[in-house]
Structure 1
């Protein structure tokens, strides 16, 4: 009797081991698909599709910024004064007016490239206005492999520099920004982050973003970027509710000073004939100053959207595939229930991370779950066909 029980026990163990081996063999292909899909163009496409869809949904969120004021260099302002480019003495007058109104920071999104040889007094007045203000942020751009600083000066006293780079994806949509960038090494903060350094220095060091791997040999001699962020949701609502005035109204004294006091003021071009808008949504484009101001406001309120490393998406995909396979396998009900609950829990992880400000791709997980479902479906269909074939007529 004991020998018989021992033999039965061995048979049971061997059967469980055989089932486990078969289960692992079934999982080999889905897990391989998870890894391959994570680094494929399919994941890039899916992430862009999902991001654009969510961006349109959250575009209706009521976001009323209280920390930002926009001063638009619109076509009317350009026509009222000296035409484009405006006399730099006018820009100096704007900075002087904003400083006297006690604006906390003045982000002037105009690239003052080179000297104005026809009006050197305008250049001098602009430099003096920047120096006396002590809270002006100016854009730094790159062209032909070199950094172009404002007014062709190696250093502007009391001025803060920030890179104005807004890089588009291959489909010409703007979805991401970089907190740091620069020629050779990303040492310059973005215009939004540089503005936060002036507006609220305590908050400026508390940032996230996906680091750029550089294999421990330094960045290239070309334009380099670091601390990647996805453009947060809500830009449309921000643009609809942000307080803004035309430049001519500021110079005419029509803008109440109390509307500017303790605000982060962004001055930039809003004339389509001078600057092209950047496409963010299928039916909506924005000027660069509007985007920089929005990024500043999101940084100031502590909301960033950081992309995650692909290794975490692969890990999530593998775990979800294993759990879903456990649910589909011919196992006791308890094990299948555990697999289903775990798969459901893992499916909610990207949503939970999104609420915390992290973007985790769901494509590897979807690829794994779909592939293992197809494999089990084909296997069971083949088994049914084999049984029907062997059945007597």
Structure 2
């Protein structure tokens, strides 16, 4: 055995898995059987249901009826009233799924019986009159007699019985009540399939039993997962076979007598030459469900007895009276519903019989399982290991499709249940095992070849280096003999480590080169500088002291090497923001100048939160990267490296609008109109794509030297807001925030319109519309106080422009501009009128 495992491990593994599943198919495991039943339920949900007639109606003893008629059990007079009402409607058959095994207790009847007995002893005339009156009164109180009379009058009511399962069957036909014998079925002896058996039976009280058209047991058969999929058509009571409640109703509805039924326990129940019901070995019928809960028409018991349901509904139908109210009958879990009432389950079982919709589990199913396991075992042990990976995978997929498809087709179209869980799991485990072994063997051979081939390691190292996987590159390059060519390769690798600010690793590469050639290109000196640079780094803050770039953590390498972020070379620092630094970068692939904005989430967040914020950052950057508009800065790329996340964007040669909010630097009103209109158009473009800026202010809008307006920091504002919430520090004063933004409501594009209105007010007047001595006072102003008239600060502002500002700064966002493009249209129209007035004035002056 050990020799086989060493030489042919796939064969050994395939045979071992096969042996395990052969044993499992014998002993059976509840968990695996439950998986098979899950697949059974999926197939049951896809069976085609024939368009049968609506022959079955349910009278539901529901929660509503309990609330209106009182707690259960009800006085039997209510059931009598229901039977009488239904009888008048003319149903084909009534199934009353309530077992009345004891007479109804009545203290009044007991007292009347005592008094009547005393009067009979007296035997006087007056006593006889009193006795007749008391007899009449007793009959009025005897609800059991009334219900028995109603059952007898209807003549078509089927009642339930219940059997308690026993370990051993008693032999006692002669001791059994003849009425029960009359209700039983004749069945052929069959040792292979008997099903459940019982020595105890719970019957309706004799008056009800004798008045009923027939009886059937209501015992339920639960599977290992607690669901009900079967109906025990015949249940052995002593040496009799009692039909199930659904079977009794179905046969009586087809006028089939007990003598016509031929039953073979564990095999079939034959009702007629064209109706043969297949049974499991436990003498159960697999119910074919017509549909989920609510498929059959249901009417409340209360509505029926109060004549709120037209009698035509029940005429000629099978009517089932069954409880579903909480506390009376627990709902059943079935393949098609998690809360099916007992009445609906009974209706499905009857429907299956009447419409000959049967599911058959063949007796040879277990042997077929052994055959499939053996076949798959031979395939996984001897065939799949000899195939190439692609062909083996395709064969596996084909076998899975064949196994699932055939089982699905046979069940849905032919009603044949083939159990495939064991061979299916064997196929999956066998394929995974064989594929894993082949992979391990291949990888082992590959490593051996790599160890023997220096050229292969060199090529792999260069490939890893080109992809930025520097650690893997160094691991491969160290396996290559060091010659002059390899020294140059390793030196370039060390420079890449420097650019990535991984100084210790760069020093390790220089040290490796130094071990082979101490004089090579000053590697000893570079190593010393890098060790010194790494020792001066405060790792908790990612901060460098000294160096060539002051306190900038990215530029302070101390070795003269130009750092990189991703593929971008960092040229210099452009400025600092709330969450990071902005650098001038260069994309060497296409020689394009870019602005690189960096973010340090580790500074403000715990490690887990920092990772979540980084993921959120990339989602926002991805959204912003989809925007392509002349007035929105273009996002080229986003990435992260060590402790830095970054966005590469269009480099803007200009300045922000903050300068033009001061009174001494205000732009001409006509130019302000055009600038704000450009911003509004850019915002509307973003809003239409579901992106809200959230931080529109002069510092986030650039005016280029060419005069073009560019909105910056799309997608950044949400990240900044999260950072402020996390740290508990508000960075900056929220002069431009909308009322809904301050109150914490979900914001949309109208919030940006409010911010733009604030910005327009400031650029025209040099003042902010809302001010306060504290953030709280400022927020109160924004949310509750109307903005002042801008003409008080700048009387030259036109009245239509004031109207535009007022509409943009409405506290109620439903009264604000609903789209930024509407604000842009008003501004453009106003600008055009101003131009026309100026043009007419020039013409007038020239004249």
**Match for residue 199 of structure 1?**
253
Contact 2:396 2:431 in 1 (8 A): no
Which residue does the alignment assign to 2:434? 376
Does residue 274 (structure 1) correspond to residue 319 (structure 2)? The answer is no
Higher relative contact order (CA 8 A, sep 6+): 1
Deviation of residue 326 (structure 1)? 6.4
Number of the residue aligned with 1:109: 97
Deviations 1:202-247 (A, max 9, x none): 68552123122xxxxxxxxxxxxx2252x544542xx324222222
| Corresponding position of 2:408 | 351
Q: CA deviation at 1:170?
A: 5.1
- 1:50 corresponds in structure 2 to 39
After TM superposition, give the deviation of residue 196 of structure 1 in Å.
0.5
Q: Does 1:125 align with 2:146?
A: yes
Q: Does 2:375 match 1:319?
A: yes
Q: CA deviation at 1:110?
A: 0.8
Question: Is contact 1:326-1:339 (8 Å) kept?
Answer: no
Correspondence 1:321-340 to 2 at 5 A: 321-323=377-379, 328-330=384-386
- Which stretch of structure 1 is more off in the superposition, 45-54 or 323-332? 323-332
Q: Spell out the pairing of 1:8-47 with structure 2 (5 A cutoff).
A: 27-38=14-25, 39-47=28-36
CA distance in 2, matches of 1:22, 1:36: 21
The verdict on how the C-alpha distance between 1:43 and 1:194 changes in structure 2, with shifts beyond 3 A counting, is same
Instruction: Provide the TM-score with structure 2 as the length reference.
Output: 0.37
Q: Distance between the aligned counterparts of 1:347 and 1:32, measured in 2? A: 22
Against the structure 1 CA distance between its residues 369 and 170, is the aligned structure 2 distance closer, same or farther, given a 3 Å change threshold? closer
CA distance in 2, matches of 1:82, 1:380: 72
Q: Is residue 264 of structure 1 aligned with residue 318 of structure 2?
A: yes
1:153-168 matched pairs, under 5 angstroms: 155-168=209-222
Which of 162, 174, 178 is residue 141 of structure 1 equivalent to? 162
Paired residue total: 354
Output the CA distance in 1 between the equivalents of 2:351 and 2:213.
Answer: 21
The alignment status of 1:70 with 2:58, answered yes or no, reads: yes
Structure 2 Cα separation of the partners of residues 59 and 270 of structure 1: 27
Which residue in 2 is equivalent to 1:221?
none
Separation in 1, partners of 2:313, 2:237: 38
Whether 2:299 is the aligned partner of 1:245: answer yes
Contact 2:156 2:213 in 1 (8 A): yes
- Is the deviation greater in 98-107 or in 323-332? 323-332
Gaps of 5+ in 1: 1-20, 213-225
Pick closer, same or farther for the CA change 1:339–1:108 going to 2, 3 Å: same
Distance in 1 separating the partners of 2:21 and 2:206: 51
- TM-score normalised over the length of structure 1: 0.74
User: Which sits farther off after the overlay, 336-345 or 247-256?
Assistant: 336-345
- Give the whole-Å Cα distance in 1 for the aligned partners of 2:308 and 2:246: 27
- 1:105-152 per-residue CA deviation (whole Å, 9 max, x = no partner) reads 111111111122436732223223323333211111135962111115
Provide the C-alpha distance between the structure 2 equivalents of 1:258 and 1:200, rounded to a whole number of angstroms.
Answer: 21
Q: Which residue does the alignment assign to 2:244?
A: 190
Change (3 A) 1:317 1:186: farther
Give the corresponding residue for 1:15. Answer: none
Q: Is the 8 A contact 2:232 2:285 kept in 1?
A: yes
Q: CA RMSD in A?
A: 4.0
CA distance in 2, matches of 1:386, 1:79: 74
Q: Identify the residue that residue 219 of structure 1 maps to in structure 2.
A: none
8 Å contact from structure 2 (residues 145, 207) kept in 1 = no
Question: Where does structure 2 lack aligned partners over 5 or more consecutive residues?
Answer: 1-7, 110-138, 166-198, 257-269, 453-847
Evaluate the alpha carbon distance shift between residue 344 and residue 329 of structure 1 in structure 2; reply closer, same or farther with a 3 A threshold.
farther
Asked whether the equivalents of residues 234 and 242 of structure 2 are also in contact (C-alpha less than 8 Å), the reply is yes
Aligned to 2:299, the other structure's residue is in SS state: strand
Is the 1:209–1:306 Cα contact (8 Å) retained in structure 2?
A: yes
